[in-house]
Amino acid sequence: MKTELKNQLRQQDATVLAQGYSPAIRAMEIFSIIAFVALESALVWRLWGNPLVGPWMVLSAVLLGYLAADFVSGIVHWMGDTWGSTDMPVLGKAFIRPFREHHVDEKAITRHDFVETNGNNCLVSLPVALLALLLPHTSATWVFLSSFLGAMIFWVMATNQFHKWSHTDTPPVIIGLMQRVHLILPPDHHRIHHTAPYDKYYCITVGWMNKPLALIGFFPMMERVITWATGLIPRKDDIGAEAALELFQTQAADAPPVVKAAQELLEGGALAEEPGAVSPVRPS
């Protein structure tokens, strides 16, 4: 079944996708990197010397921020892989295109310079960076929240660099060591995601969240909810309508118990509204 599904995949041309990286997008990314560094530096300056800041608070914020960044990377990665089209205005070329290009040319990311690798993540982190900077530092709770948000977006910014290293044939020695002990994203772990049809292990900061999310069927459950609510089929614009529909149906059959329970609740609600045959897709 999986071999037949893989043969049905219709992917976009890697050269066309690469050409979508325009001078305007690069200028936006350069601005984003400068703004991100400025905001993070200002946050460190605000926190430095604050009597409420202690080593355990900083360590907790950094570690929790790392886990949160891994989860956020999975959400963003899943959205970029699963929904929307590269032809969409602004979002298509700036955000969705890099994800789709990566599936047809895994090594393209290793040829990207610092700006192209990290600019997008800096851009999406700017609102959170500004929030972390503007929060009041009048109590331990506010200081911890500000530190946590600052740490989280630092790791979000570093995510694509870790991702790039996971595809690099000969990374620096220290990076290879960190990959082997799973302190950053290991190549073997990430390779699971790069097995067609690319529907699992989306977390790419460190990958610690991938197994827990897979055990509860988090992303398939989210896809079924969105499909029920909108009628959209996940990955239709990435792998083709036929393969996407077959994958959607296969996932439903193989779903963990928690996903099947959620599906039954959704279908039960639809049945109560409109008697008739039960469908995984909400009527439009």
pLDDT in tens, 191-206: 999 887 778 899 999 9
CB 175 within 8 A of CB 165: yes
Residue 273 has pLDDT above 50, yes or no: no
- Banded pLDDT at 282 (limits 50, 70, 90): very low
Whole-prediction pTM: 0.78
Name, in order, each residue with C-beta under 8 angstroms of 97's C-beta and a sequence gap of 6 or more: 17, 20, 21, 86
Task: Return the pLDDT at 97.
Answer: 79
**Mean pLDDT, range 156-166, rounded to an integer:** 95
Output the CA–CA distances (angstroms, integers) from residue 157 to 64, 121, 152, 170, in the order listed. Answer: 15, 5, 9, 22
- Among 259, 249, 257, 264, which residue's Cα sits nearest to residue 222? 259
Backbone torsions φ then ψ of 116, nearest 5 degrees: -65, -30
Q: Mind listing the pLDDT tens digit for each residue in 70-98?
A: 999 999 999 888 888 777 776 776 778 77
Average of per-residue pLDDT values in the chain:
83
- Banded pLDDT at 167 (limits 50, 70, 90): very high
Output the CA–CA distances (angstroms, integers) from residue 9 to 6, 196, 236, in the order listed. Answer: 6, 8, 10
